Chains A and B, each alone.
Chain A
Amino acid sequence: MSSVFERHPEHELVPYLDGELSRQQAKKVSGHLESCGRCRAELEELQNAVADCASYRTAIVAQTSAAPAPWRDLYRDFSRIDESLANNSLLVRLMRPLVHSGVPRWAFVAGLTVLIVLLSLNQLRQAPSVQAATLLRKAVAVSGSQPRPAHRIRVRSSRHADFTRAANVPAVLVEVAQAQAVAALFQKADWNWNDPLSARSFEQWRDRQVHKTDEVSAVQDPQEPSEKLTRIRTASPEGDVEAASITLDTANYDAVSERLEFRDSEWVELSEIAETPTDNAGGSGVDSVGVPVRAAEPPSRPAAFTPGSPASISDELQVLSALNGIGADLGDPVEVALADGKVMVTGPADIPAGRQSEIRASVASLPRVEVAFNSLPAVSSLASAGAPAAGTATSPAETRLEKHLGHAEFDRVSTQLLDLDDAAMQRVFALRRLALKFPDEAALSPRDLNVLRDLSRKHAAVLSQEVGSMEKILIPTLSSLGGAAVSVPATAHAGWQPAAEDVYLSARRVEVLISQTLGMTPGKASPSELMTALSQLQANLDDCQRALK
């Protein structure tokens, strides 16, 4: 995988300043800074902004009023917790008076059995709606008392491409195309899109339904048959959602999957992405709704697989394809390379543990693969960078843009644009990495060629959508500022690899111009320049997609 330092490391400067880069990465940034005045100036500006933050924090600390009441002495609470933990078993509490009263052991056991039978009968007598409400209440209570570690969920729907996202966080980073479409569905149904796969969101929706019908059933986990799951399905004659079902892990009440069926026959399935390697055993033991796949499906083995032989390009492609299946080739600092007869998948140790597990799981069934997350200590001090700071100029286009849109709208548009640009650049880098890694397709078997082309086509198609979204936001505004695109035809390439390089160069140009237009990078960008650059990027992308057919 290519290094990020073929470009200016602007995205690494803040982590560098904070001592959050690995020693190796920090060394690369230091090396770049020695020879790049622009980045040194940028770094100095960032240092000043950090100093401002420190002053701001000091002001907040000084001015924040003290807590409204004296802080409680927690020692008494600690003792209460100690006692409660010691006595928390219902069995212990039940046994204690009986044991102390001298009741014979057989009588106690018989009594307990009767109690269990009565409780079970009572449970059976409970209507499904009571069972559903009770289960959900427990699940919400458990999730409130034991926050789950960060994890991701997969989103599948009847009308849009699959995607993954972090669970239980506001979805603001990359809300593009298919994610926006699904988010709109959830918002219309008044379903919490920030925490879509959770008992709480399900309960909130269920509580709003006046004439609902519940079903509660036990189902088997298709991936770990020994584990039991409980499914609650609620149908409602009112609102946008006709029926929704949530599957909970019976042991810990974690929400495992969810399905929403909309009245217009559209459906969306959400499923947690497993944190440990699991075999995909297929969908047995579930009802007609079906449990979505919880881990990325490994791709099929290449035809020319010989046990014992060193890893080949074919193996590397399978790994890249598997990583693509979980989106790990987009933004995750993971590198893939052939070394010592193996496909080495490496990344820094600060990738969250859950994500590391996902990455390991995605390639677990592939042979000759080694995954390593190194733990190089981060540097804590900043290398000296001697050049004086260059003055930063506010782009005239930014002033006009902000004035034109108003502050609030400008903020909204700029955040949206930067998100789209980030997502697009991740695709551009992913496409370019493939082009640089596999410049000669003649050496590939037809099967490998298909894998490579499929991956590249996928990146190009999503990139095209993202560029389209950027154009949709920018073109009307830039046009109203007097901008006009000059049509520049793309060079027609015979191969997609050189076309991907042109896509990369034009995307970089768009990135710089957007940054200047928003006033985040010094420089002058006119509306026409940005419109022309976007048009050029789209033309290059069209050429690349044509060559990929």
Chain B
Amino acid sequence: MAIFRQPPSGLELQDQVAQLYTETREDVYRYLLTLGVHPPKAQEAVQEVFLRLYTSLKKGEKIESLRGWVFRVAHNYGLKVRARQSTEERFDPAFEARLVAPTANAERDLLDREKMTRLNTAVEGLSEQQKRVLFLRMEGLRYPEIASTLGISASAVGEFLRRALLRLKKVRDE
């Protein structure tokens, strides 16, 4: 992850943020869906987060991990958006993951679909915090970044992940 030690020039900064936006926006969007934010709001939130990133960098804020910062701000922003949409039904992205794209091998598809359904059920059964830690880890964030996003310690991140994996392991053994 790039670290801006020296303030880049205006255009250079625009290019850097735009590049990060292109590389990361789908991951952040998907994470917001897992928080229960509806797709149009999630997309709006992603764009807003990157504009905030640009503003912060433009103001000279030192950010060690841009990806970590983006997820942290997206997380907080996503929770606020979700709170505002509380009267609506919460978006369930996992529903889409239950289906496995069909291939030529029908038997294989069935096994995959069963496995994904089981995994999905297990993930849905995790506590909210375990789910968040797991999804952020799956997006490639390191423990300190996850810790900073969720406001917990890095050791708590390890513990939530351990519990989440134990639940998944249990499903695997069934």
Residues in chain A within 8 A of chain B (CB atoms): 10-15, 18, 20, 45-46, 48-50, 52-57, 59-65, 67-69, 71-72, 74-75, 77-78, 81-82, 85, 144-145, 147, 149-151, 166-170, 172-173, 331-333, 348, 350-352, 355, 392, 394, 407, 411, 415, 418, 422, 519-520
Residue of A nearest to B22 (CB): A71
Whether B151 contacts A169 by the Cβ 8 Å rule is yes
Give B151-167 as 1s and 0s: 1 = Cβ < 8 Å from A's Cβ atoms: 11111101111110110
Whether A355 contacts B153 by the Cβ 8 Å rule is yes
Main secondary structure on B side of the interface with A: helix
Whole-angstrom distance between the Cβ of B66 and the nearest chain A Cβ: 14
**CB-defined contacts of A52 to chain B, threshold 8 Å:** 115, 119, 168, 172
**CB-defined contacts of A69 to chain B, threshold 8 Å:** 40, 43
**Cα–Cα, bound, A193→B137 (Å):** 26
Residue of A nearest to B75 (CB): A147
Residue of A nearest to B173 (CB): A392
Whether A56 contacts B119 by the Cβ 8 Å rule is yes
**Cα–Cα, bound, A519→B170 (Å):** 7
Whether A64 contacts B30 by the Cβ 8 Å rule is yes
Residue of A nearest to B159 (CB): A11
**CB-defined contacts of B166 to chain A, threshold 8 Å:** 49, 520
A-B contact pairs, 7 of them (CB 8 A): A55-B119, A56-B116, A59-B116, A60-B97, A72-B47, A74-B54, A77-B51
Whether B93 contacts A64 by the Cβ 8 Å rule is yes
A48-B169, A49-B172, A150-B148 given as contacts; is B128 within 8 A of A82 (CB)?
A: no
Whether B39 contacts A50 by the Cβ 8 Å rule is no
**Cα–Cα, bound, A85→B57 (Å):** 12
Number of chain B interface residues as a range: 35 or more
**CB-defined contacts of A81 to chain B, threshold 8 Å:** 51, 54-55, 58
Whole-angstrom distance between the Cβ of A356 and the nearest chain B Cβ: 11
Whether B30 contacts A20 by the Cβ 8 Å rule is no
**Cα–Cα, bound, A172→B156 (Å):** 11
Whether B168 contacts A74 by the Cβ 8 Å rule is no
Interface residues of B in 13-51 (CB under 8 A from A): 14, 17-18, 21, 25-26, 29-30, 33, 39-40, 42-43, 46-47, 50-51
Q: Which of A11, A18, A352 contacts B147 (CB under 8 A)? A: A352
Whether B162 contacts A11 by the Cβ 8 Å rule is yes
Whole-angstrom distance between the Cβ of B73 and the nearest chain A Cβ: 6
Whether A67 contacts B29 by the Cβ 8 Å rule is yes
**Cα–Cα, bound, A59→B144 (Å):** 27
Whether B101 contacts A62 by the Cβ 8 Å rule is yes
**CB-defined contacts of B154 to chain A, threshold 8 Å:** 20, 348, 350-352
A60-B30, A68-B39, A170-B129 given as contacts; is B51 within 8 A of A418 (CB)?
A: no
Whether A411 contacts B162 by the Cβ 8 Å rule is no
**CB-defined contacts of A13 to chain B, threshold 8 Å:** 162
Whether B120 contacts A56 by the Cβ 8 Å rule is yes
Whole-angstrom distance between the Cβ of A66 and the nearest chain B Cβ: 8
**Is B96 engaged at the interface, CB distance under 8 Å to the other chain?**
yes
**Cα–Cα, bound, A332→B172 (Å):** 32
Whether B147 contacts A14 by the Cβ 8 Å rule is no
**CB-defined contacts of B160 to chain A, threshold 8 Å:** 173
Residue of A nearest to B69 (CB): A147
Whether A85 contacts B142 by the Cβ 8 Å rule is no
**CB-defined contacts of B158 to chain A, threshold 8 Å:** 11-12, 14-15, 18, 20
